[in-house]
């Protein structure tokens, strides 16, 4: 009975989500206002390279290839011959036999249809990589791995079927991100780590750290006067959907969803540490449990913050390289909105991680250190 109280508190957040979801049901039934132009997209495989030669295009040497391509599936029995390299581009791919590519059709001025290669088909590589990921997850984590994969699919489903459509239909991206987070956190946590005190404490710690980090991010987004238009994607989104007014809100929405993923590890770890300390030394009280968890938590903070900064650096590496030989002062570089937005994301995420350690440790120490809620043989499992 006592054990279920903490579970009910955590599941309360899911009930909030379901209630608000019911309110938004009329909006969910609407189709998004966006309409995209239809164009013919065809996949083909390179079956023959008839010619290769160096040509000069606007003063730049390009490799021109004459390719014979067969449409996919082969049952279409249609082939085309295309010449590449005669259009100036930043990057000119070099194609090989058996490469699978994407073609777009164009209608010329005299009504004839022609084709251009727009990209490679990369799905096969992604499928194999995903298969390796699934196999390793199940092989190493076994039952827990299966449930964690299920949680991942639920998160993906909520993002694709709820978060993105709702934002695109004009709803407040911050509200939608919060609702999505309130659904993802308990569902994925309990699936991955089981329904127990440890997971319930981690859920509460995650939600608390997320709320504080979200408020902090919102304050500094406004203080830094970030518009949200630092990326080309945001500009294209505004052009495609002029009714989408809250571009700035996408910054905070992205931070909220990103924090949900990174807080899982730290909150579960801290709750598990306190539980294990109490299991090994049942006489430990609140303060001893909290101090013991914080000793380990400091190492978590050091490693995760460094990891997080490196992850953001890796993601923004092409951007950072632009400023290596830039004569502009460092203060001017970080003042650019594109750079300032990335710095804000990294710092807010790091602060969220730091806050999650003492918050979760405190909650776990209160629960496991209190005999009213703690039973070594029953509640701790």
DSSP letters spanning 290-318:
HHHHHHHHHHHHHHHHHHHHHHHHHHTHH
Predicted local confidence at residue 268, as pLDDT: 92
| Nearest residue to 49 (alpha-carbon basis) of 76, 83, 79 | 83
117: helix, coil or strand?
Answer: strand
**Angle CA 226–230–236, to nearest 5:** 125
Separation CA 121–CA 100 (nearest Å): 5
Closest by CA position to 360, among listed 185, 180, 145, 177: 185
DSSP 32: P
User: What totals of helices (H) and strands (E) does the chain contain, helices first?
Assistant: 12, 5
Question: Which distant-in-sequence residues (6+ apart) come within 8 Å of 323 by Cβ?
Answer: 333, 339
Tell whether the model's pLDDT for residue 48 goes beyond 80. yes
Every domain range in the chain assigned CATH 2.40.50: 41-121
For residue 1, the model assigns a pLDDT of 46
- Rounded distance between C-alpha atoms, residue 365 and residue 294, angstroms: 11
Between 112 and 220, whose confidence is greater?
A: 220
DSSP string covering 40-51, please?
-EEEEEEEEEEE
pTM of the model: 0.73
Q: What is the pLDDT of residue 337?
A: 84
Q: How high does pLDDT run on average in the chain?
A: 80
Strand ranges in 173-331 using DSSP code E only, listed in sequence order: none
Q: Which fold has domain 41-121?
A: OB fold (Dihydrolipoamide Acetyltransferase, E2P) (2.40.50)
**Residues forming beta bridges with residue 57, ordered by sequence position:** 60
Cross-strand partners of 71:
44
- Alpha-carbon span 14 to 9, nearest angstrom: 10
| Span 323-351, average pLDDT | 81
Mean pLDDT of 10-15: 49
> Sorting pLDDT into bands at 50, 70 and 90, what band is 378?
very low
Residues in the chain: 381
- Non-local (6+) Cβ contacts of 315 within 8 A are none
Whether 209 shows a pLDDT value over 50: the answer reads yes
The pLDDT, as a whole number, for residue 137 is 92
In this predicted structure, which of 47-51, 101-105, 119-123, 225-229 has the lowest mean pLDDT?
A: 225-229
């Amino acid at each position: 009975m006592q054990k279920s109280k903490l579970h009910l508190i955590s599941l309360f957040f899911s009930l909030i989500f379901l209630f608000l979801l019911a309110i938004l049901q009329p909006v969910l039934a609407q189709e998004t206002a966006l309409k995209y132009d239809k164009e013919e997209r065809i996949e083909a495989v390179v079956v023959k390279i008839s010619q290769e030669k160096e040509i000069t295009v606007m003063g730049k040497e390009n490799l021109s290839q004459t390719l014979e391509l067969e449409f996919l599936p082969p049952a279409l029995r249609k082939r085309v011959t295309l010449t590449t390299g005669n259009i100036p581009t930043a990057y000119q791919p070099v194609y090989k036999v058996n490469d699978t590519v994407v073609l777009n059709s164009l209608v010329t001025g005299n009504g004839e249809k022609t084709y251009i290669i727009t990209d490679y088909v990369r799905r096969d590589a992604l499928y194999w990589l995903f298969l390796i990921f699934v196999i390793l997850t199940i092989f190493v984590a076994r039952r827990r791995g299966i449930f964690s994969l299920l949680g991942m699919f639920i998160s993906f489903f909520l993002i694709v079927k709820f978060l993105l459509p709702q934002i695109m239909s004009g709803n407040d991206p911050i509200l939608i991100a919060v609702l999505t987070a309130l659904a993802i956190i308990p569902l994925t946590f309990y699936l991955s780590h089981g329904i127990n005190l440890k997971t319930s404490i981690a859920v509460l710690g995650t939600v608390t750290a997320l709320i504080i980090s979200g408020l902090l991010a919102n304050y500094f987004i406004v203080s830094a006067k970030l518009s949200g238009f630092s990326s080309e994607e945001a500009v294209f989104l505004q052009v495609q959907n002029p009714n989408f007014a809250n571009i700035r809100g996408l910054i905070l929405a992205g931070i909220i969803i990103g924090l949900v993923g990174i807080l899982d590890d730290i909150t579960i770890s801290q709750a598990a540490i306190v539980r294990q300390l109490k299991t090994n030394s049942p006489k430990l009280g609140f303060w001893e449990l909290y101090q013991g968890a914080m000793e380990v938590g400091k190492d978590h903070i050091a490693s995760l913050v460094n990891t997080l900064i490196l992850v953001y650096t890796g993601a923004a590496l092409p951007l950072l390289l632009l400023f290596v030989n830039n004569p502009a002062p460092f203060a001017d570089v970080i003042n650019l909105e594109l750079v300032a937005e990335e710095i804000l994301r990294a710092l807010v995420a790091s602060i969220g991680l730091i806050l999650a350690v003492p918050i979760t440790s405190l909650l776990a120490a209160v629960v496991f250190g209190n005999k009213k809620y703690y039973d070594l043989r029953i509640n701790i499992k």
